Amino acid sequence: GAGVSQSPSNKVTEKGKDVELRCDPISGHTALYWYRQSLGQGLEFLIYFQGNSAPDKSGLPSDRFSAERTGGSVSTLTIQRTQQEDSAVYLCASRAGTSGAPPYNEQFFGPGTRLTVL
Amino acid sequence: GIQVEQSPPDLILQEGANSTLRCNFSDSVNNLQWFHQNPWGQLINLFYIPSGTKQNGRLSATTVATERYSLLYISSSQTTDSGVYFCAVESLATSGSRLTFGEGTQLTVNP
C-alpha cells in the first residue's frame, strides 16, 4: 500500500485477556519497528525487525510482549494477560533499508492502535 | 543511551507569527527526523535531516551535527500548524535500530 497501515485502530479489552495488533509496512520496506506512546512514558521503542529477524528486542517491557514478522512483510505484536498499564497507542513504522530509494533511514509511521485495558 | 531534549515544551502563538523549536541531543546521530503529530495522533514526517538545512514551504530545518542540535522554523503560522512537534534521533552507536524521541513541543496557534 501507499503507507503503513495498522489494525485495529481501537481495541478495548479486559484485564487478563490476550490481544494481537497488526502492522502492514510500506511495500518493499525491509525494516519494521514497533513503538508505543503513553501519557507517562512518551514515545518509546519496543522492537525492530530486519526482514523476519529481530536483532533488537530490548524495548519489550516484559515477557508478556512478543512480536513476529512473516514473509518480510506483515508483523503482529501480541500482548498476553494484558494489564491496565499496557493501555497506550501502539505505533508501527517501516524503513526502506539499503534495497530501497534513499534516504534509506527515514522511518514512516502508521496511524497506530489505541489499546485500552479495563 | 542517547538523550534528546526539546524546547520549549509549550508554545502559544497568534496566527501569522514565526517560531523556532529546538532539539538537543547527547551523542552523534545517523538519522534525525522532525514529526508533527496531528490531533488524530498520526505522526507526519516533516524532515529527514541528519545534517544541513532543508526547506519545505513555510517550514525549514537546520541540523548542526557537530554541535548536536537541530532547529525547526515555522513561519507565518496557521491554526492548522497546531499539534505536537517531535524530534527523533537514531544514535550512530545503534545504527539500523530505534529512534529515540524527545518529549515534544506542544504548539497552539490561535486565530
Q: Do A42 and B103 touch (CB under 8 A)?
A: yes
Q: In this predicted structure, which of A17-26, A73-82, B25-34 has the lowest mean pLDDT?
A: B25-34
Q: Residue A87: is it exposed, middle or buried by C-beta count within 10 angstroms (0-12/13-18/19+)?
A: middle
Q: In this predicted structure, which of B50-54, B57-61, B89-93 has the lowest mean pLDDT?
A: B89-93
Answer whether B102's CB lies under 8 Å from B6's CB.
yes
Q: How many percent of chain B have pLDDT more than 90?
A: 86
Q: What is the DSSP string of B43-93?
A: EEEEEE-SSEEEEETTEEEEEEGGGTEEEEEE-S--GGG-EEEEEEEEEGG
Q: What is the tally of helices (H) and strands (E) in chain A?
A: 0, 11
CB contact, 8 Å: A103 with chain B? Answer: yes
Output the average pLDDT for chain B.
94
Residue in A closest to B87 by C-alpha: A43
Q: What is the mean pLDDT of residues B74-84?
A: 96
- What CATH number did the domain enclosing A27 receive? 2.60.40.10
Q: What is the pLDDT of residue A100?
A: 53
Residue that is written with C-alpha cell 509511521 in the block: A109
Domains held by chain A: number:
1
CA distance B33 to B44: 10
- What CATH number did the domain enclosing B67 receive? 2.60.40.10
Does residue A23 sit within a domain? yes
Full domain range(s) for residue B106: 4-110
- pLDDT class for A94, splitting at 50, 70, 90? very high
* Residue A1: pLDDT over 80: no
What is the identity of the amino acid at B101?
F
CA distance A1 to A54: 23
Q: How many percent of chain A have pLDDT more than 90?
A: 76
* Residue B93: pLDDT over 90: no
Answer whether B73's CB lies under 8 Å from B17's CB.
no
Q: How many percent of chain A have pLDDT more than 70?
A: 93
Q: Which residues of A fall within a CB distance of 8 Å from B31?
A: 105-107
Q: What is the mean pLDDT of residues B24-37?
A: 94
Which residues, 6 or more positions from B81, have their beta carbon under 8 angstroms from its beta carbon?
Answer: B36, B74, B107, B109
Output the average pLDDT for chain A.
92
Q: What is the mean pLDDT of residues A60-71?
A: 95
Which triple of cell numbers denotes residue A45? Answer: 521503542
Selecting from B33, B41, B90 the residue whose C-beta is nearest the C-beta of A111 gives: B41
* Residue A41: pLDDT over 80: no
Domains held by chain B: number:
1
Q: Which residue has the higher pLDDT, B44 or A97?
A: B44
Selecting from B42, B45, B98 the residue whose C-beta is nearest the C-beta of A106 gives: B45
Tell which A residues from 71 to 90 touch B, by Cβ distance under 8 Å.
89
Tell which A residues from 8 to 27 touch B, by Cβ distance under 8 Å.
none
